Amino acid sequence: MNFRKFSASVGIAFRALRVNKMRSALTMLGIIIGVAAVIAMVAVGSGAEQRIKEQIASIGSNLVIVLSGSVSSSGIRMGTGNAQTLTEDDAKAIAREADAALLAAPAVRGGAQIVFGNSNWGTQILGTTPEYLSVRDLEIEQGQAFLSSDVDAAAKVALLGKTVTGNLFSGASPIGQVIRIKKVPFTVIGTLVPKGQSPTGQDQDDVILIPISTAKKKVLGTSQANYAAVGSVMVQAADGRTQDVQDQIKALLRQRHHLQPNEDDDFNIRNMEEVFQAQESSAGVMSILLAAIASVSLLVGGIGIMNIMLVSVSERTREIGLRQAVGAKTRDILSQFLVEAVTLSAVGGAVGIALGLGSSALISYFAKWSTVVSPGSVVLAFLFSAFIGVTFGFYPARKAAYMDPIEALRHE
């Protein structure tokens, strides 16, 4: 079909659709809703994936967590972390001997009530080393981080998370202020850039970081016998080597803890990358399911187009016969009705795109749910709507094109 014939067919299609405006609008409604639903649902799914990626980034890059193991007593096995089987020396050995590990930071944890003036707040106390900030990708918002010399001297200095700062200082600068942790005075030397919630829903900003030696001696009350013990070791693996560092840590700690081949590990290693990949995969499946469910409405819209086009062919039987009588070819009539079907779906698709973009914005605003509209999903939804028009418009168009001219002219 040349351009002149095509433009003429488009003109005829629009005139035919204008004759029954209400019917045409109702026919397009299925396509409009379908395209809008696909765009909105894909945006919701993509937003969920984006949110998970942001939470993964907030945990730290290539993070491997080593936890103390469990103990058995009278045949009863306690949970992970009940045995203090890890030490600061283990952390130093990991950083020194595991070539796939970039950094290792030992940590001890405990809860405490923090007091400043007339304000108080219950939060998590984390005793660690300066390497912890790099392992967890933590940044200083105000002030400065504590140093290795502070760890050696068991200095009473603290770094505050955003949640703690907000609850104790109400917008005022905490730098240089003295807070009390279990009645022990600490000087605030810095605040941390907010990290938000973790993938498990934990507030990562509700924390205070202090030197690990200070935590053991003056806050958490570690006994002299277990002074070297730590609850966990955070390890940053080299890019793409999380599995390597996991294997190296396991071999190294089994050797350091003098475990026999038939003995179970007295520690646990968690590769966060595997957990995050599972969460991302789940979000991806959700996005596909949402798009598939929304696509059903497009199919329903296509059935509506076929139904209306069959009605249109029936109503215009004499017109078709006259066109055949004056020399219209089969492909001319076929193309005319196909163009009408595609025009219905294309106009409906364009309106659906606008409605889908608006719906995504409204979902994000009212439901406080992150939505991400990708150009690919918009183009795909529009092309799919056009494909629906061709697919469901072909049968009515073919029926019109191969109609017997004599029978068509006799039709009342």
Tell me whether residue 265 is exposed, middle or buried, using C-beta atoms within 10 angstroms of its C-beta: 0 to 12, 13 to 18, 19 or more: middle
Gap between the Cα atoms of 211 and 396, Å rounded = 78
How many degrees, rounded to 5, is the angle at CA 78 between CA 72 and CA 79?
Answer: 140
User: pTM for this one?
Assistant: 0.66
Q: Please name the amino acid found at residue 38.
A: V
Q: Please name the amino acid found at residue 160.
A: L
Paired sense of beta strands 72-73 and 86-87, if any: unpaired
The full set of domain ranges for the chain reads: 3-55+278-410, 84-265
pLDDT tens digits, the chain, 412 residues: what are they?
566 766 777 777 777 777 778 888 888 888 888 888 888 888 888 887 777 777 666 666 688 999 987 655 444 445 444 567 899 999 999 999 999 999 999 999 999 999 998 999 999 999 999 999 999 989 999 999 999 999 999 999 999 999 999 999 988 899 999 999 999 999 999 999 998 877 666 888 999 999 999 999 899 876 555 778 899 999 998 887 888 999 999 999 999 999 898 888 889 998 876 666 666 677 777 777 777 777 787 788 888 888 888 888 888 788 878 877 887 788 878 888 888 888 888 888 899 999 999 998 998 888 777 888 888 888 888 888 888 888 888 888 888 888 877 776 766 5
- Tokens found for residue 387: 């494909």
Which helix (H) or strand (E) segment holds residue 103: the answer is: strand 101-116
